Amino acid sequence: MPEFKTLGQFIIEKQADFPFAKGELSRLLRDIGIAAKIVSREVNKAGLMDILGHSGAVNIQGESQQKLDVFANAQFISALRSGEECCAIASEEEEDVVGLGGSGAQYIVAIDPLDGSSNIDVNAPLGTIFSIYRRLSGDGSITMEDILQPGEAQVAAGYIIYGSSTMLVYTTGKGVNGFTLDPSIGEFCLSHPDIRTPAEGRIYSINEGNYIHFAGGVKRYIKFCQEKDERTYRPFDSRYIGSMVADLHRNLLKGGIFMYPATASSPKGKLRLLYECNPMAFIVEQAGGMASDGLTRIMELQLSELHQRSPIFIGSAQMVRQVEKLLAGNEVPTFEGVENGLKF
């Protein structure tokens, strides 16, 4: 049993670990925690309220937004605005960067306020993913260089899973810690100190409905997962919720790989680098795992646009290495052309 500690107590205790420690990052994390509690409350009562369902708006990715997405987006922006530590937000739900205008604020937040939103109507787990950067430009107007920093420049990242209980998991580059919301006292309490992910897992998570569109190396890896081999505990289990936070959270704790590869029609995959892939890569690496686009470490990829997508293979280190090896091999092409360095 970990020692009883709230998220607030833990953040203050760890503040001194941080090189720029003046308390701003701690306050920023605290503000995200507060907004998460409010979103958690709304997610939990979604089935009871008229809040459920489509708002009618379409986000810039061309996907229909649902009311809870809009609510979560507004909630996180409002918490970060009133906290005054954040100068700009890049959100999945906003076409452009939202400037908060706080003079002297040194942090930038990239966020997917409600990930896995196709799960809202069916009471399945949802999540929030966030990433925190220090601005490069010092003061004055925010520049795109401030926003489009590679994942390696993250100072903190985390996710909140709204599941059978609500958990907040985050890293500031010194390991990963998880906190479970105790609704009776309204506090996130340390429940998963120093999370480490197994080097070799037994779960693979991928939307196999897209199988015929995957590169040969991905297909071979799926077959590898399914083949019998008692020494390596294969076949592995296939588990896919369709909510990246929920799929990754399970795999982080139990060991496994989550994949959203490129396909011939979507050569960059589906998931967004800035507020989905990079924060998850930071967390998983800090827990001892790996994250790759198949060729390159996710956190080394350069961003040229806000809502840029990337293929992702993330989780237990041995599994990611294995899929990278198969992708690098000379696969029999199943599609014409080479996109994004991958053979189809």
Shortest Å distance, C-beta 264 to ligand AHM: 15
Residue 308 in contact with ligand AHM, rule: CB under 6 A: no
- Is the distance from CB of 106 to CB of 87 less than 8 angstroms? yes
Q: Residue 186, by phi and psi: left (phi above 0), alpha (psi -120 to 50) or beta?
A: left
Residue 243 site contact among Mg ion, ligand AHM, none (CB < 5 to 8 Å, cut-off depends on kind): ligand AHM
The 3-state DSSP class for residue 147 equals: helix
Count, residues in the chain: 344
CA-derived radius of gyration, the chain: 20
Q: Is the dihedral angle over the CA atoms 242, 245, 248, 253 positive or is it negative?
A: negative
115 versus 293: smaller Cβ distance to Mg ion? 115
Residues 85-114 that bind ligand AHM (CB under 6 A): 92, 112
Q: Residue 276, by phi and psi: left (phi above 0), alpha (psi -120 to 50) or beta?
A: alpha
Shortest Å distance, C-beta 77 to ligand AHM: 17
Position of minimal CB gap to Mg ion: 115
Residue 69 in contact with Mg ion, rule: CB under 5 A: no
Print the binding letters for residues 10-49 with ligand AHM: x by CB under 6 A, - otherwise: ----------------------------------------
Residues 93-152 that bind Mg ion (CB under 5 A): 112, 115
What is the number of helices (H) and of strands (E) in the chain? 8, 17
What's at 277, amino acid-wise?
Answer: C
Residue 270 site contact among ligand AHM, Mg ion, none (CB < 5 to 8 Å, cut-off depends on kind): ligand AHM
Residue 293 in contact with ligand AHM, rule: CB under 6 A: no
Nearest Cα to Cα of residue 320 among 341, 339, 293 = 293
Residue 207 site contact among Mg ion, ligand AHM, none (CB < 5 to 8 Å, cut-off depends on kind): ligand AHM
Q: Which of 24, 85, 115, 285 binds ligand AHM (CB under 6 A)?
A: 115
Residue 285 site contact among ligand AHM, Mg ion, none (CB < 5 to 8 Å, cut-off depends on kind): none
> Please, what is the Cα angle at 268 between 267 and 274, to 5 degrees?
175
- Is the distance from CB of 125 to CB of 119 less than 8 angstroms? yes
For 338, the token pair is 């080479």
Shortest Å distance, C-beta 132 to ligand AHM: 19
Q: Which of 243, 251, 278, 286 binds ligand AHM (CB under 6 A)?
A: 243
User: Which strand (E) or helix (H) includes residue 216?
Assistant: helix 216-226
Residue 128 in contact with ligand AHM, rule: CB under 6 A: no
Largest CA distance in the chain: 61
Residue 31 site contact among Mg ion, ligand AHM, none (CB < 5 to 8 Å, cut-off depends on kind): none
- Is the distance from CB of 180 to CB of 33 less than 8 angstroms? no
* Strand 107-115 with 98-99, pairing: unpaired
Residue 116 in contact with ligand AHM, rule: CB under 6 A: yes
Print the binding letters for residues 185-224 with ligand AHM: x by CB under 6 A, - otherwise: ----------------------x-----------------
Neighbour tally for 37: CB within 10 Å = 19
Binding site for ligand AHM (CB under 6 A): 63, 92, 112, 115-117, 207, 242-244, 270
Binding site for Mg ion (CB under 5 A): 112, 115
